[in-house]
Structure 1
Amino acid sequence: MKNNKVFSYDKAMQRIEQIVEQLEGDDKSIDELADLVKEASSLVKDCKKKLKDTEGEISKAFEDEDKPE
């Protein structure tokens, strides 16, 4: 997640969908294709990290709930 900006999973997914649509078009140079694939790969990596982090937070929340006070 770059530039210390707040990561938006939904925005990343929208961008991935846009990239897929662009990749399906036939009018891209090899350089454009490479750049789009790199961007999509980075976004997918960030999304996977967000999902993993969220899963950990949820698990921790339930663990905290189960602990006796």
Structure 2
Amino acid sequence: MKDQQELSFEEAMESLEQIVEKLEEGDVPLEEAISIYKQGMNLSRLCHMKLKSVENQLTEILNEDGQLESFTTVEEETP
């Protein structure tokens, strides 16, 4: 298995989903459940960091002159 830092977002999410399924089954010994839970929390942090990194990259876009420009989205209000 790859080091967690080397996992792609998709690989980390897939591993996290497998962990959740295993824990939801409820037939995991307590010590193993704690270890699996810790792995899941690490994967959750990794996914969060990867998403935050992408979000930071998307907040800056190139304008027509090739200069970096801050980019923000405006959420639409629902009537």
Same fold (TM over 0.5): yes
In the alignment, structure 1 residue 9 sits paired with structure 2 residue 9: yes
Task: Give % identity.
Answer: 30
Of Structure 1 and Structure 2, the greater strand share is in 2
Corresponding residue number in structure 2 for 1:52: 52
TM-score normalised by structure 2 residue count: 0.70
Point out which structure has higher relative CO (alpha carbons under 8 A, 6+ apart). Answer: 1
Question: RMSD across aligned C-alpha pairs, in angstroms?
Answer: 2.4
Q: Is the alpha carbon distance of 1:7 and 1:66 closer, same or farther for their aligned partners in structure 2, counting shifts above 3 Å?
A: farther
The alignment covers a number of residue pairs equal to 66
Of Structure 1 and Structure 2, the greater helix share is in 1
TM-score normalised by structure 1 residue count: 0.78
Q: Distance in 2 between matches of 1:12 and 1:4?
A: 8
Structure 1 unaligned regions, length at least 5: none
Structure 2 unaligned regions, length at least 5: 68-79
